[in-house]
A and B are shown apart, each in its own frame.
Chain A
Amino acid sequence: MPDQVKLKIEDRDVTVDKGQTILDAALKLGIIVPTFCWDPRLKPIAACRMCLVEVEKAPKLVPSCAVPAIEGMVVKVFSEKAIRGRKAVLEFILSNHPLDCPTCDKGGECILQDHTFNHGPTGSRTIEPRNRTIFDEKYKFDDFPLGPVIWLNMNRCIFCFKCTRIIKEIAGDDDLGAFNRGYHTILHGHKNRPFRSEFSGNTVENCPVGALVANSFRYKVRSWLLKKTPSVCHLCGDGCNITLWHQGQKLFRIYSRWNRNVDNGLLCDRGRFGGLYADSDRRLRNPKIRREGKLIDTTWEEALDFVAGNLESIRAKFTAAGIGVIGNEMLSNEETYLLSRIARRVIGTNNIDFRFEDKFTPSTDLNLKLLYFLVKRIPFSKFGEFRNHLIIGTDTEVTHPIMTLWLKRAISSGRSKCYAAYHRKTDFTLHPVESIEYFPQGEYNFLLALYSALKGKSIDESALASGVASTLIQRWAELLKGSKTLLLAGEALYNNPRGSENIDLLKAICDLLGEGSVINIPYDGSNYLGNLLWGATPGILPGGSQNDEENRSIICKEWKCDNLPEAGGMDTSQMLTAASEGKMGALIFFGSDPVGFYPDREIATKAVQNASFKVACETFLTETGKLCDAVLPLAPFPECSGSLISSEGRLQFFEKAFDPAYSSAEGWRIILRLAQRLGFEGDYSSPSEIWSEMASIADKCGKVDYKQSQYGGQFLKMDFAARAFSNLDGFQSSPLPSPTAEFPMILTYGASVYQKRNLTAYAESMDKIDPGPKLYINPDNAAKMKLYEGDTVRVSSTKGSLTMKSAFDYRIRPGTVFIPTNFQEAEFNSLLSSKSDLTFVKIERL
């Protein structure tokens, strides 16, 4: 075979592909060659020389990680010369290593320790003092803060350059470099800027020694005392596989679990450091109920009796339709299913929803359309097969950091190009992306323009309405035409006043592009899809089937009841509007915080105040919880078991690392106990029992095949019928309202890169990474307003005003400002009104 080479390693024959290295061949035989700088995800640089082997007829030892295998090569890994060579390399590396293992956080899991034990010299031949790099005398132990969360001890560094290569090659950021030469080498950013890549934590996990240490783990615990539990990250839809390192009921750190089809051993800082929110001591500790106007601690028995009793009396007074349940998209499948069951069967209402951050909740028809696209989903690992990637309506770096790494990988392979359209600039730093910035909520007009351009029709009107130059859209149409394209449709497309039309247009565009083009809808939220499938919306029953007569009767049989509530039911917006007018009896918030996040604080606050009875089940006391009659402490993810479906369509189970801390309880247990008090007769002892019941329902009426499901990630087989897509002939561009003289700027809002809702803000590292609410503004706009970075500004809309610090971001479209939603104290939603599509604000310097 011409593409394969045969060589001999340690007298054993092995055949590998041409271009593979000696190290690859040795690994194929199961021969372990020690390495420091080698990493299968990175290009070999042979910096550490630890992998030296002897090759016959070669004049000297060769680094096996970088030398390609050649036909007929005879390699000796354990010859005396090779062993002596590696020993000398280790002696060289150790000659300036401080050997401060007793105080080093890497002690016990250090690759240098392991290699020295196996291959190294037993003593040192030098008596000279070791090289010491001291940054500042004020820091103990020569450590130095490289960025907000990463500390560097340059003495321990062995110069494998894994950190800089991970940041440059994989994450595509340019804020960590190795400067100077030899043992003078130091790591820092350009012009000593702090190291704040959103993937910075990976350098710590991959550092073979203790040179890079995370602030959250530094000098806290010895790693061998910790237990490891496999889990799944909950902080976005990517579903990265993580390992929880914990001792007792304390979570110390989160590392990757290396699923090469999902995360490839990489985590974003949100997951790695933000996930430590579970360890916060500001968590709710006890159930609370309102007595004489105050929330007071109580026992679970009393709290549940109180809630159940009140719900019973509300049901008698208002009928079941006066009760609403608002969950959230981070609940596991089991919890969602139980919540849907208690709402529909026990309480008897279809008023259930899991989205509380969206102004324009998708209708049932749109939900079913979204589900239809999941049938043809593309796993991350196949992104490289597409010629073009077209991202519309999302900043994937914020919503899906790890998916973005797959995009970057496709771009850096040179075979794929990336196009991104959003209301702010998309910039992958070292990876080129073509970016279009349209008006906020200009998705519909932009899609219409792109569709018309592909059809060869006039686009002037719609391009103008979307705020993009028509030549630019024409150019994109030319570039995209006929090529195999992956369309990544973000949340802005369906959380939109024209959500349904947007999806129709997207489908039409996809059909006009090259063969094999596919629409992927990367959902935000760790279990958005699971919530849709398991009945957390009024119009979809558990199993993913539409809420109609036929499907209801099947579910009735399974649930052994006579009837379920007729179709209908309210989504979050409708529930909150009704409640604010005093038409709702009770509201149940399960991990949701409408007062803090619903884009109209006035309505949400009124809704919670005016409902006769309201109960919140949450991990931290939220703005909503403060107004509720009862607050039940919900255990965060390390303390729960269950399953999640990632935005890729991958079903993954996770087990709890330890029992819920304080008096908090797992979500499914709280729902179950409440349901039992309301007359539910069933009982479950674990999520897996709930799971088997769900599987049998899905089997009978669902559109999803759960029969093969087992521990570990796998794709679900789904079967959703094609939906009717509208005829596009009648689609007209619709100009958006323009800002007024009094309120000249458009307000946009969304999550910050480092944060998930307000949860991650409770993690200690996050104070440093992303310290507080800021108003992001384009530098050009700021210059016109004579505004400097860090100035205190007042943002006012017709609804209210906020005071915060300003920050510059060149990615913000001129004429718009951006407020991250993740800080409760900012109360961003007090500026918003659910009645108008766009919010206009004015900025004043204080």
Chain B
Amino acid sequence: MYLSEQTRQKIMELRDRYPARLAAVLPVLHLVYDEFGYLGTDQLDEAADALGISRLDMNETASFYTLFPKHKVGKYLIQVCDNISCALRGADNLVSYLESKLGIKVGGTTPDGLFTLWTVECLGSCGTAPMMQVNDKYYERLTREKVDKLLEAWRNSK
């Protein structure tokens, strides 16, 4: 049993909201993500059973959306855009600075489980490049100093 009773209850409510149960898959993915911060196969299987669809369908759909993490990630999921606009404004410098600062490679998580660093495709904030998204929030026009301050603040707030 991974899912909490509340999430399960919410999934039950979604069951008959749409003409087809498959239509409720995306809201369910969000529910599972909100509870765990990532979509693990075991959690998805349980959600699929609760929703009454095949486990395969639930996992297929989840795998389509790259923005959902599929494995446990740090408390702060740092997603740095490395597409053209950000790259021209020094995104790769930013990434290597973050790597050295956190002591991890892209895709890795710090040993204390606080930070995970990803590079992602365009986040639609080209005018304020370089930028990154941490959990649900955008941080724009980044410089090394800004990053230092942010990391410091997060480290202290644990």
Give me the interface of A with B, judged by CB distance under 8 Å. 168, 174-181, 189-191, 430
B64–A177 CB distance below 8 A: no
The smallest C-beta distance from A442 to any residue of chain B, in angstroms, reads 31
Q: Which residues of B contact A177 (CB under 8 A)?
A: 56-57, 59-60
B63–A174 CB distance below 8 A: no
**CB closest chain-A residue, reference B66:** A181
A174 in complex: contacting residue of B41, B55, B65, B66, CB < 8 Å: B55
In Å, the complex CA distance between A174 and B59 comes to 12
Q: Mark B58-91, 1 if CB is under 8 A from A, else 0.
A: 0110011110000000000000000000000000
A190 in complex: contacting residue of B59, B65, B66, CB < 8 Å: B59
B60–A181 CB distance below 8 A: no
B64–A174 CB distance below 8 A: no
Q: Which residues of A contact B63 (CB under 8 A)?
A: 179-181
Q: Which residues of B contact A175 (CB under 8 A)?
A: 56
The smallest C-beta distance from B65 to any residue of chain A, in angstroms, reads 8
A191 in complex: contacting residue of B41, B57, B60, B64, CB < 8 Å: B41
Q: Mark B125-138, 1 if CB is under 8 A from A, else 0.
A: 00000000000000
**CB closest chain-A residue, reference B42:** A191
In Å, the complex CA distance between A180 and B62 comes to 8
A177-B57, A181-B66, A190-B56 given; 20 more Cβ-contact pairs under 8 Å: A168-B54, A174-B55, A174-B56, A174-B57, A175-B56, A177-B56, A177-B59, A177-B60, A179-B59, A179-B60, A179-B63, A180-B64, A181-B63, A181-B64, A181-B65, A189-B56, A190-B55, A190-B59, A191-B41, A430-B54
The smallest C-beta distance from A828 to any residue of chain B, in angstroms, reads 34
Of residues A168, A177, A189, which shows the largest number of chain B Cβ atoms within 10 Å of its Cβ?
A177
Q: Which residues of A contact B57 (CB under 8 A)?
A: 174, 177
In Å, the complex CA distance between A337 and B60 comes to 55
In Å, the complex CA distance between A168 and B63 comes to 18
In Å, the complex CA distance between A430 and B52 comes to 10
Q: Which residues of A contact B64 (CB under 8 A)?
A: 179-181
In Å, the complex CA distance between A176 and B56 comes to 8
Q: Which residues of B contact A191 (CB under 8 A)?
A: 41
**CB closest chain-A residue, reference B60:** A177
Of residues B56, B59, B66, which shows the largest number of chain A Cβ atoms within 10 Å of its Cβ?
B56
Q: Which residues of B contact A180 (CB under 8 A)?
A: 63-64
Q: Which residues of B contact A168 (CB under 8 A)?
A: 54, 56
In Å, the complex CA distance between A181 and B70 comes to 14
Of residues B41, B55, B64, which shows the largest number of chain A Cβ atoms within 10 Å of its Cβ?
B64
Q: Which residues of A contact B60 (CB under 8 A)?
A: 177-179
In Å, the complex CA distance between A181 and B64 comes to 5
Listed A/B pairs (15) with beta-carbon separation below 8 Å = A168-B56, A174-B54, A174-B55, A174-B56, A175-B56, A176-B56, A177-B57, A177-B59, A180-B63, A181-B64, A181-B65, A181-B66, A189-B56, A190-B59, A430-B54
In Å, the complex CA distance between A191 and B54 comes to 13
In the A-B complex, the 4 residue pairs with the closest CB atoms: A179-B63, A174-B54, A174-B56, A177-B60
In Å, the complex CA distance between A707 and B63 comes to 60
Q: How many B residues have CB within 8 A of the partner chain? A: 11
Q: Which residues of A contact B41 (CB under 8 A)?
A: 191
Question: In terms of DSSP, what is the predominant structure of the interface of chain B?
Answer: helix
Q: Which residues of A contact B55 (CB under 8 A)?
A: 174, 190
Q: Which residues of B contact A176 (CB under 8 A)?
A: 56
In Å, the complex CA distance between A176 and B60 comes to 10
The smallest C-beta distance from B39 to any residue of chain A, in angstroms, reads 13
**CB closest chain-B residue, reference A172:** B54
**CB closest chain-A residue, reference B62:** A179
Q: Which residues of A contact B66 (CB under 8 A)?
A: 181
The smallest C-beta distance from B22 to any residue of chain A, in angstroms, reads 11
Q: Which residues of B contact A174 (CB under 8 A)?
A: 54-57
The smallest C-beta distance from A684 to any residue of chain B, in angstroms, reads 55
**CB closest chain-A residue, reference B65:** A181
In Å, the complex CA distance between A191 and B66 comes to 18
**CB closest chain-A residue, reference B64:** A181
In Å, the complex CA distance between A174 and B58 comes to 11
The smallest C-beta distance from B139 to any residue of chain A, in angstroms, reads 26
The smallest C-beta distance from A511 to any residue of chain B, in angstroms, reads 37
In Å, the complex CA distance between A116 and B55 comes to 37
**CB closest chain-B residue, reference A167:** B56
Of residues A189, A190, A191, which shows the largest number of chain B Cβ atoms within 10 Å of its Cβ?
A190
Q: Which residues of A contact B56 (CB under 8 A)?
A: 168, 174-177, 189-190
In Å, the complex CA distance between A191 and B65 comes to 17
In Å, the complex CA distance between A449 and B63 comes to 49
Q: Mark B20-46, 1 if CB is under 8 A from A, else 0.
A: 000000000000000000000100000
In Å, the complex CA distance between A722 and B138 comes to 81
In Å, the complex CA distance between A177 and B63 comes to 11
Q: Which residues of B contact A181 (CB under 8 A)?
A: 63-66
The smallest C-beta distance from B78 to any residue of chain A, in angstroms, reads 22
**CB closest chain-B residue, reference A164:** B60
In Å, the complex CA distance between A181 and B63 comes to 7
The smallest C-beta distance from B156 to any residue of chain A, in angstroms, reads 38
In Å, the complex CA distance between A430 and B22 comes to 13
**CB closest chain-A residue, reference B58:** A190
The smallest C-beta distance from A53 to any residue of chain B, in angstroms, reads 28
In Å, the complex CA distance between A636 and B63 comes to 47
Tell me the residues in window 98-122 of chain B with beta carbons closer than 8 Å to chain A beta carbons: none
In Å, the complex CA distance between A79 and B41 comes to 48
In Å, the complex CA distance between A168 and B54 comes to 10
The smallest C-beta distance from A178 to any residue of chain B, in angstroms, reads 6
In Å, the complex CA distance between A191 and B58 comes to 12
The smallest C-beta distance from A139 to any residue of chain B, in angstroms, reads 23
The smallest C-beta distance from B158 to any residue of chain A, in angstroms, reads 33
In Å, the complex CA distance between A189 and B56 comes to 8
In Å, the complex CA distance between A483 and B54 comes to 30
In Å, the complex CA distance between A509 and B57 comes to 40
In Å, the complex CA distance between A626 and B66 comes to 62
The smallest C-beta distance from A42 to any residue of chain B, in angstroms, reads 16
The smallest C-beta distance from A47 to any residue of chain B, in angstroms, reads 13
In Å, the complex CA distance between A357 and B59 comes to 44
In Å, the complex CA distance between A176 and B57 comes to 10
Q: Which residues of B contact A179 (CB under 8 A)?
A: 59-60, 63-64
In Å, the complex CA distance between A176 and B54 comes to 11
In Å, the complex CA distance between A179 and B62 comes to 9
The smallest C-beta distance from A177 to any residue of chain B, in angstroms, reads 4
In Å, the complex CA distance between A782 and B54 comes to 27
The smallest C-beta distance from B19 to any residue of chain A, in angstroms, reads 12
In Å, the complex CA distance between A430 and B55 comes to 11
**CB closest chain-A residue, reference B54:** A174
Q: Which residues of B contact A178 (CB under 8 A)?
A: 60
The smallest C-beta distance from B118 to any residue of chain A, in angstroms, reads 15
In Å, the complex CA distance between A178 and B60 comes to 6
In Å, the complex CA distance between A177 and B61 comes to 10
The smallest C-beta distance from A238 to any residue of chain B, in angstroms, reads 26
The smallest C-beta distance from A117 to any residue of chain B, in angstroms, reads 33
In Å, the complex CA distance between A179 and B56 comes to 9
The smallest C-beta distance from A724 to any residue of chain B, in angstroms, reads 49
In Å, the complex CA distance between A174 and B57 comes to 8
In Å, the complex CA distance between A768 and B152 comes to 58
In Å, the complex CA distance between A189 and B64 comes to 15
The smallest C-beta distance from B58 to any residue of chain A, in angstroms, reads 9
**CB closest chain-B residue, reference A178:** B60
In Å, the complex CA distance between A209 and B55 comes to 28
The smallest C-beta distance from A191 to any residue of chain B, in angstroms, reads 6
**CB closest chain-A residue, reference B41:** A191
Q: Which residues of B contact A430 (CB under 8 A)?
A: 54
The smallest C-beta distance from A338 to any residue of chain B, in angstroms, reads 51
Q: Which residues of A contact B54 (CB under 8 A)?
A: 168, 174, 430
In Å, the complex CA distance between A178 and B59 comes to 10
**CB closest chain-B residue, reference A191:** B41
In Å, the complex CA distance between A180 and B64 comes to 5
The smallest C-beta distance from A414 to any residue of chain B, in angstroms, reads 12
The smallest C-beta distance from B46 to any residue of chain A, in angstroms, reads 13
